[in-house]
Structure 1
Amino acid sequence: MITILHNPRCSKSREGLSLLENSGKDFGVIKYLDEPISESALKNIISLLKIKPIELVRKNEAIWKSDFKGITLSDAQIIKAMVRHPKLIERPIVINSKKAAIGRPPQNILNII
């Protein structure tokens, strides 16, 4: 099953959702700002993306700038920050079995569906 971590207020996330809708494939939507992601789920997503946790952080978010910018954090601390403040998570993220992609640009999603 394909899953999209979606923020309806984000234009790139809406574009990613539209790509999935037009693909004709079954998928589920997780509005991650409303349905919090667990620490273990986020670790799994980062593993599927094959990136470092810091690469999933939206560094222009106000909460990052005010609370975390300029501070050296471990991977575990970065993950905890994203779980506590889900707005920090880059979006959209699409997961398809053992593959995942960040939909920036949205066309990245096409590589895994």
Structure 2
Amino acid sequence: MGLKIYHNPRCSKSRQALVILTEAGVDFDIVEYLKTGLSIGELEDLATKIGGDVRAMMRAGEGIYKELQLENESDDTALIKAMAENPILLERPLVSDGKMALVCRPPELAERFFD
């Protein structure tokens, strides 16, 4: 599996990470997850690759996070289901090489995949 960036074109940090990967000349696929969505299986796989911390890949500042009262949710399965149903909850940019995944905030963290 090659490098993938889970990208939101409206996010400045995501756009910056995209530029970093492009300028490095590495091959990568762009996943516009807001358009395509992500399955529960894909999100579980990303959570494993990020080190098992589901909350690390969530946007706690989104209105839907508060609306669903996810700050009180302790079950990772419920958090992943919420992200599958509301892809805006996925933190971005998220980059994965198939073995590990990383939320690239700051975007320069994407350099870890090719340094």
TM over 0.5: yes
Taking a change above 3 Å as real, the CA distance of residues 63 and 2 of structure 1, as seen in their structure-2 partners, is same
Letter in 2 for 1:91: R
Letter in 2 for 1:15: Q
- Say whether 1:92 aligns with 2:100: no
Give the Cα–Cα distance (whole angstroms) in 1 for the partners of residues 87 and 72 of structure 2: 19
- Say whether 1:72 aligns with 2:73: yes
Kept in 1, the 8 Å contact 2:5–2:18? The answer is yes
Q: How many residues in Structure 1 have an aligned counterpart in Structure 2?
A: 113
Please, what is the CA RMSD of the aligned residues? 1.2
Name the residue aligned to 1:14: 15
More helix by share: 2
Deviation at 1:69, TM superposition (A): 4.3
Name the residue aligned to 2:30: 29
5+ long unaligned stretches in structure 2? none
Taking a change above 3 Å as real, the CA distance of residues 64 and 27 of structure 1, as seen in their structure-2 partners, is same
Larger mean Cα displacement after TM superposition, 60-69 or 34-43 = 60-69
Give the Cα–Cα distance (whole angstroms) in 2 for the partners of residues 21 and 33 of structure 1: 21
Give the Cα–Cα distance (whole angstroms) in 1 for the partners of residues 42 and 52 of structure 2: 15
The DSSP-based 3-state class of the residue aligned with 1:33 is helix
Residue identity over aligned pairs, in percent, reads: 35
Kept in 2, the 8 Å contact 1:3–1:29? The answer is yes
Give the Cα–Cα distance (whole angstroms) in 2 for the partners of residues 51 and 15 of structure 1: 26
5+ long unaligned stretches in structure 1? none
Give the Cα–Cα distance (whole angstroms) in 1 for the partners of residues 54 and 64 of structure 2: 16
Kept in 2, the 8 Å contact 1:100–1:112? The answer is no
